[in-house]
């Protein structure tokens, strides 16, 4: 999928632009105010809907009827706007149940000063926030994530990981945050999606989450990212306040649906 092949209302939708590589071969159904994208995976179809609630419902209704008529296999995942109540019969047809509600936030690069290189930062309590050498410290990052954010699918050595920032107390890694490269504007533009924020419980309240967010965001802008995005569970009001203070704005309020056996988000 190219930027121009998106339905007209969504050619400036940062969430769809960021993930358009994932949807390159998707089947797309659109109306004047909504779009439904369906892509195949070995485990089942993945569906993403965006747009006006009533029109999204119409598209999901049509998709459900199509799948019943053709006897399509059950799906792997569905994401839909949070103000859409997906009918139970559609979920039954897809073989999915409610999994989570989440927000997708982004900060665009509009301030030239925000493109300055991000270097190490020492906090008043002596903690230092700096770039992580993921080749040398991958196990330490995974240990922090296991202890602080076990639902996260982030991994420092996964494909498309561009950078990780760490909070240190001396040589001890006590907080982490990572960035995965995604699409940006145009053919060569790119963005960063932040994921895997984790701060050890004994170090919370010292401003490390905000410092990690600022450090990694500035690193993204210094690298040339068109925007920096992140996601959070809808009930996490503390994280939402932190990200708003860091300049992030809400671009999508979503619900996800997965198989009853799902314990983690799709990614």
Is the domain of 56 the same as that of 120?
A: no
Distances (CA, A) of 159 to 23, 40, 151, 179: 17, 20, 19, 11
Spans in the chain with pLDDT lower than 70: 1-10, 110-118
Residue 71 placed within a domain: yes
Is the domain of 157 the same as that of 228?
A: yes
- The CATH number for 120's domain is 3.40.630.30
Is the domain of 118 the same as that of 248?
A: yes
Is the domain of 39 the same as that of 161?
A: no
Is the domain of 139 the same as that of 74?
A: no
Is the domain of 224 the same as that of 158?
A: yes
Structural domain total, the chain? 2
- pLDDT for residue 123: 81
Structure tokens belonging to residue 88: 């139970």
Alpha helices in the chain (DSSP H): 14-18, 53-70, 88-94, 134-148, 208-223, 237-245
Residue 267 placed within a domain: no
Is the domain of 86 the same as that of 110?
A: no
Residue 115 placed within a domain: yes
Q: How many angstroms from the chain centroid is the CA of residue 122?
A: 28
Range of the domain at 38: 3-95
- Which residues, including other chains, have CB under 8 Å from residue 142's CB and lie 6 or more apart? 155, 156
Is the domain of 246 the same as that of 146?
A: yes
Is the domain of 155 the same as that of 32?
A: no
Is the domain of 56 the same as that of 167?
A: no
Residue 246 placed within a domain: yes
Residue 260 placed within a domain: no
Is the domain of 48 the same as that of 177?
A: no
Alpha helices in 71-158 (DSSP H): 88-94, 134-148
Which of 44, 76, 95 is at the close of a domain? 95
pLDDT in tens, 209-257: 999 999 999 999 999 999 999 999 999 999 999 999 999 999 999 999 9
């Amino acid at each position: 999928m190219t930027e121009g092949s998106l339905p007209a209302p969504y050619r400036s939708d940062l969430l769809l632009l960021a993930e358009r590589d994932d949807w390159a071969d998707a089947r797309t159904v659109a109306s004047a105010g909504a779009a439904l994208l369906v892509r195949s995976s070995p485990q089942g179809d993945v569906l993403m809907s965006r747009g006006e609630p009533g029109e999204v419902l119409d598209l999901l209704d049509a998709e459900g009827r199509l799948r019943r008529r053709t006897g399509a296999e059950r799906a792997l995942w569905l994401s839909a706007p949070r103000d859409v109540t997906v009918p139970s019969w559609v979920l039954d047809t897809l073989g999915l149940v409610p999994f989570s509600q989440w927000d997708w936030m982004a900060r665009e690069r509009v301030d030239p000063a925000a493109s300055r290189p991000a270097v190490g930062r020492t906090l008043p309590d002596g903690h230092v926030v700096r770039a992580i050498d993921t080749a040398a410290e991958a196990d330490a990052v995974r240990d922090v994530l296991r202890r602080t954010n076990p639902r996260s699918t982030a991994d420092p050595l996964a494909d498309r990981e561009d950078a990780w920032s760490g909070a240190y107390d001396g040589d001890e890694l006590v907080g982490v945050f990572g960035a995965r490269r995604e699409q940006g504007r145009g053919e060569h533009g790119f963005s960063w999606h932040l994921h895997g924020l984790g701060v050890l419980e004994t170090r919370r309240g010292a401003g490390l989450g905000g410092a990690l967010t600022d450090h990694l965001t500035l690193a993204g802008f210094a690298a040339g990212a068109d925007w920096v995005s992140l996601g959070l569970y809808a009930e996490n009001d503390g994280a939402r306040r932190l990200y708003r203070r860091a300049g992030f704005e809400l671009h999508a309020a979503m619900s996800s649906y997965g198989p009853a056996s799902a314990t983690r988000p799709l990614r």
